[in-house]
Structure 1
Amino acid sequence: MTDTTIRTTEVVLPGRVEPDGLEVRTRELPAPARGQVVLRMDATGVSFAEQQMRRGKYYDQPPFPFVPGYDVVGTVTAVGPEVDIALTGGRFAAVVKTGAWASHLLVEAADLMRVPDGVDPSAVESVLVNGLTAWQMLHRTAKVPAGGVVVVLGANGGVGSTLVQLARLRGITVIGTASPRHHATVRELGASPVDYNAPDLYARIREMAPEGVDAVFDHVGGAAVEQSWQLLRRGGTLVSYGTAVSKNEEGNSRLPVLKLFGRLAAWNSLPNGRRAHFYNFWAGRRRHQASWQRRMNDDLAQVLRLVAEGSLVPQIAAQIPLTEASSALALAESRTVAGKVVIVPGT
């Protein structure tokens, strides 16, 4: 442990504000407690979670004010009691849910995932939660075989663009929805694009896959999730992982999720050979933390191996300094870019 005082620059979400309402503050960071390390941020980013949090719509967000930031890649600069000093100077990734939009932050040593040398931190950040989510939904939840056909809603997004690439690496045909401005990108990733705003969207997908599809990955939720369910062939799997359609709706943030849970449960009770799952990144962590963390480490290692060998290309929409996090959030919410908006320390 070190006695050197560390000052951290943080981006604070003070309440339900527009992106330009974020506040940049500086404070003294407490010394790491037992089991903690100080992580100097090398890259963090904007996910859908922060977009919901600023509206007070994320399922279990903390009370305002707080520092957002779902995941982070950084370098250990100090360790607390009972933490191996050899971690100092190493680069690690961590999923923290909040707190990553900071130049330095305290992280539990048990939550660290080693990042291999030679992989750019912004590249790692772009496939951290996005890559873990995509890998687990494809390989652990849907278990789509080689030669299958899947639909990825939002194929130009952080999770979607990673899903497309992972599926193509497995020899799976992908139909990806996106706005027309992103169709060229979706084609380059290896998917057949469909305009997500087209009134006959699902009819077009059925024309492309008349026998049904093996899986639909749906982050949109809402009433249209029924259409996703109907696209499945017998034995197919609907993987729902969000309710983006309700992002701007007023009211209880949990109600859309609970309605979705009820709908998925009802479909699973039907004797039609199809399955419906809600993917929860944090499932099992509270009761089985050690095995949950091992699974995360194993899956991230697989994703980063693909990045290192060039098989999986991180989709970085932009790299924006921490003190300009308002611009990063606004850009991510504009839906004009493909991939993930990454936040970096700056000069």
Structure 2
Amino acid sequence: MNSTIATRATEIVLPGAVEPDGLQVRVRDLPAPAEGQVVLRMEATGVSFAEQQMRRAKYYDQPPFPFVPGYDVVGTVTATGPGADPALAGRRFAAVIKIGGWASHLLVEAGDLVPVPDEVDAATAETVAVNGVTAWQMLHRTAKVRTGGTIVVLGANGGVGSILVQLARHAGITVIGTASARHHETVRELGATPVDYRHPDMYEQIRKLAPEGVDAVFDHVGGPGLVRSWRLLRRGGTLVNYGSASSKNEKGNASLPVLKLFARLLAWNYLPNGKSAHFYNFWAGRRRLAAFRGRLSGDLTQVLRLVAAGAVTPQIAARVPLADAAAALALAESRTVFGKVVIVPGA
């Protein structure tokens, strides 16, 4: 239904480049939903690598401080604005919004909503909202790895990496996944061959497992290791970089490491070895909004169907109440967890 009734929202605010305990809590009345908007009651949101970079002012193209973080969210529509279908009210959806998810209630564009199957709980759906789309698109749209291929997933214990491993195995692709030794058994259970990322000869160990090279490497680290990821590829293979974790603690201009990375990847595409290098940008193509939303909705729906069918099991590292968002962020940054830290409304 259309709403003119104020909704009281509790929000977690990132006031500047602060430590996790510098997050602030704000309570305010949300404005009534505008044209094409809905009010979403949050049931699950999460901590991604983006928020870890944003709190350091290191995320490419992040908004000015202060703002409410929260890259993706799952919740129930409680009110609709003019131009939004009133039938959306009472239904549960996922949305990828870049910022704003760390709140009890928030305004969302109706066009960004993707239905969540009844049999998939909110925290599980949240775990694949951005991570599942990222993994699906990198594997099937960017690298286009075929059944029978072999790939390397750096950070196979992470939010994106653990989904990527499962999507690849479901597609009949062999996976070599890097993780710390404590996570190797779980990586094996997901179907990948684990390699210790702390081992000084990590790349040599991967090479022994795939002496003829691999069809794709998915690298979220960037930095000097990117060259070694490139060298793991067979002729015709694809390197997909989707982050620069190695530079997250570097001081200075947040855009500079990303621009250097872009330049390197672009140059590699002109080498006469049949290999290709790409930077995966979740928001690429958003200028053509209808096509972007259609692609995102279709890909997320595919992943949610696999989750509902039991073919993909999202890894939830912890469920943390919204009031303890600082603890959730610190836990995600500890590099000790397997999967994604999810924020829920209350205890």
Cα distance in 2 for partners of 1:73, 1:250 equals: 34
Cα-to-partner distance string for 1:212-242 (whole Å, 9 max, x where unaligned): 0000000000111000000000110000101
What's the offset of the Cα at 1:19?
Answer: 0.6
What is the one-letter code of the residue matched to 2:222? G
Question: TM-score, normalised on structure 1?
Answer: 0.99
What's the offset of the Cα at 1:83?
Answer: 1.1
The runs of 5 or more residues in structure 2 that have no matched partner are none
What's the offset of the Cα at 1:25?
Answer: 1.2
Cα distance in 2 for partners of 1:82, 1:268 equals: 45
Cα distance in 1 for partners of 2:60, 2:146 equals: 32
Matched, 1:222 2:220: no
SS of the aligned residue for 1:194 comes to: strand
Cα distance in 2 for partners of 1:156, 1:175 equals: 12
**Aligned residue in 1 for 2:344:** 344
What's the offset of the Cα at 1:110?
Answer: 1.0
The runs of 5 or more residues in structure 1 that have no matched partner are none
What's the offset of the Cα at 1:3?
Answer: 2.4
Cα-to-partner distance string for 1:98-142 (whole Å, 9 max, x where unaligned): 010000000111111111212100000001100000000001111
Matched, 1:252 2:253: yes
**Aligned residue in 1 for 2:21:** 20
* Aligned counterparts, 1:52-91, within 5 A: 52-91=53-92
**Aligned residue in 1 for 2:282:** 281
**Aligned residue in 2 for 1:326:** 326
**Aligned residue in 2 for 1:37:** 38
Cα distance in 2 for partners of 1:241, 1:247 equals: 13
What is the one-letter code of the residue matched to 1:92? F
**Aligned residue in 2 for 1:108:** 109
Consecutive aligned runs of 4 or more in structure 1 exceeding 3 Å deviation:
none
**Aligned residue in 2 for 1:2:** 3
Cα distance in 2 for partners of 1:144, 1:5 equals: 49
Q: CA RMSD in A?
A: 0.7
What's the offset of the Cα at 1:167?
Answer: 0.6
SS of the aligned residue for 1:186 comes to: helix
SS of the aligned residue for 2:83 comes to: coil
**Aligned residue in 1 for 2:309:** 309
What is the one-letter code of the residue matched to 1:256? P
SS of the aligned residue for 2:164 comes to: helix
Q: How many residues align?
A: 346
* Aligned counterparts, 1:152-167, within 5 A: 152-167=153-168
What is the one-letter code of the residue matched to 1:336? T
**Aligned residue in 1 for 2:195:** 194
Question: TM-score, normalised on structure 2?
Answer: 0.99
> What percent identity do the matched residue pairs reach?
74
**Aligned residue in 2 for 1:146:** 147
Cα distance in 2 for partners of 1:51, 1:86 equals: 36
Matched, 1:120 2:94: no
Matched, 1:231 2:232: yes
What is the one-letter code of the residue matched to 1:340? K
Cα distance in 1 for partners of 2:270, 2:199 equals: 31
Cα distance in 1 for partners of 2:303, 2:119 equals: 15
